């Protein structure tokens, strides 16, 4: 009990110190488990991302520019259509803004590229300590997004500032969840590694493929006896790698790079089937490419509602 109390105090202090900048969270606190067969959820995730200015710039809007500020609102529908399998459809609405010193802000809002994903849990082991689970997720990102945002002069903005990419890409993820870390039933280690493998899209541009690893160590200081309400909190560490962009077959050297983000995430079940989350993280280290602009701050908050869902006629 003393060790759990000390751990709870440590995580609470970290959350209070980092409350202005904690890490992103998805519809569920654990990423490896699928929904139960016949279960479903719908969630909304609001993601705010801030970047700095480009280190080198010779024109108003560079061809590899990234938004200095963006907001993405993700509508997520997930259905447990079979034991150990999930189907997810995610549709984003994206707002991008790009501005630099002495230059007017350009950008706009539009539908982003949708994801259609299948999760398969291939491993589960229960013990007195807790449960270990592992899964893979895969599927296409389809070019449903807007690609015609323009500036005040009517010039189309670069592909990297558009809500959509115009390309059909492939998403692949591996997830692992380990409950009962250090024999503490309420301590959970969760790892999410995913990649987005890109193809050529709008304006003959192939945006750099992206890779991300996120490790979240969460503690559950509160859980109702009937499990209808619960609270998770803990630190997260994220590594992101993006490859260089290609425009008309030419590699834009220095446009890709690495960034290390650190933060805190909190997740709460407030009533049966309804969950809220808040997370923020910030840049603690990054590479220095000629035109690479790492994320400076990332904020995510959302709501999830679970329910039963069956095919018509079943």
Considering the entire predicted model, what is its pTM? Answer: 0.88
How many CB atoms sit inside 10 A of residue 13's CB?
A: 10
Q: How far is CA 311 from CA 28, 80, 115, 117, 131, in A?
A: 23, 11, 21, 18, 30
HSE toward the beta carbon, residue 235, CA cutoff 13 A? 14
pLDDT range class, residue 216, cuts 50, 70, 90 = very high
Choice between 2 and 126, residue whose per-residue pLDDT is larger: 126
* Domains of the chain, start order: 2-303 (2.40.128.130)
Q: How many whole angstroms separate alpha carbon 150 and alpha carbon 161? A: 10
Classify residue 125 by burial, with Cβ atoms within 10 Å: 0-12, 13-18, 19+. Answer: exposed
Question: Which whole-number Å values give the CA distances from 36 to 82, 219, 308, 309, in the listed order?
Answer: 8, 23, 9, 11
Q: Within a 10 A sphere around the Cβ of 99, how many other Cβ atoms?
A: 15
Mean pLDDT estimate for the chain = 88
* 93-127 per-position pLDDT tens digit: 999 999 876 567 899 999 999 999 999 999 999 99
Cα separation, 21 vs 156, in Å, equals 34
CB pairs under 8 A, 24+ apart, for 148-151? Answer: 149/96, 149/106, 149/107, 149/108, 149/110, 151/61, 151/106
> Are 271 and 229 in contact, with CB atoms under 8 Å apart?
yes
Rounded to an integer, the average pLDDT of 4-18 is: 39
Could you tell me if 245 and 160 are in contact, meaning their C-beta atoms sit under 8 angstroms apart? yes
């Amino acid at each position: 009990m003393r060790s759990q109390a000390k751990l709870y105090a440590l995580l609470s202090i970290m959350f209070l110190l980092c409350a202005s900048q904690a890490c992103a969270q998805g519809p569920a606190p654990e990423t490896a488990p699928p929904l139960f067969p016949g279960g479903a959820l719908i969630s909304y995730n609001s993601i705010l991302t801030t970047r700095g200015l480009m280190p080198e710039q010779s024109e108003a809007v560079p061809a590899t520019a990234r938004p200095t500020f963006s907001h993405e609102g993700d509508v997520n529908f997930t259905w447990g259509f079979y034991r150990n399998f999930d189907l997810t459809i995610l549709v984003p609405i994206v707002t991008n803004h790009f501005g630099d010193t002495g230059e007017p802000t350009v950008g706009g809002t539009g539908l982003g590229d949708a994801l259609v994903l299948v999760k398969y849990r291939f491993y589960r082991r229960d013990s007195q300590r807790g449960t270990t689970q592992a899964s893979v997720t895969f599927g296409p990102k389809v070019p449903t997004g807007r690609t015609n945002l323009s500036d005040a002069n009517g010039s189309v903005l670069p592909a990297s500032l558009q809500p959509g990419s115009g390309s059909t890409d492939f998403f692949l993820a591996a997830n692992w969840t380990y409950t009962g870390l250090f024999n503490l039933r309420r301590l959970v280690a969760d790892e999410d590694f995913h990649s987005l493998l890109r193809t050529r899209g709008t304006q003959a541009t192939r945006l750099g493929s992206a890779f991300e690893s996120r490790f979240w160590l969460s503690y559950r200081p509160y859980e109702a006896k009937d499990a209808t309400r619960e609270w998770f909190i803990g630190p997260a560490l994220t590594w992101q790698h993006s490859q260089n962009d290609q425009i008309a077959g030419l590699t834009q050297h220095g446009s890709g790079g690495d960034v290390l983000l650190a933060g805190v995430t909190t997740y709460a079940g407030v009533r049966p089937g309804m969950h809220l989350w808040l997370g923020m993280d910030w840049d603690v280290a990054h590479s220095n490419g000629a035109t690479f602009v790492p994320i400076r701050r990332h904020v995510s908050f959302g709501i999830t509602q679970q329910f039963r869902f069956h095919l018509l006629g079943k």
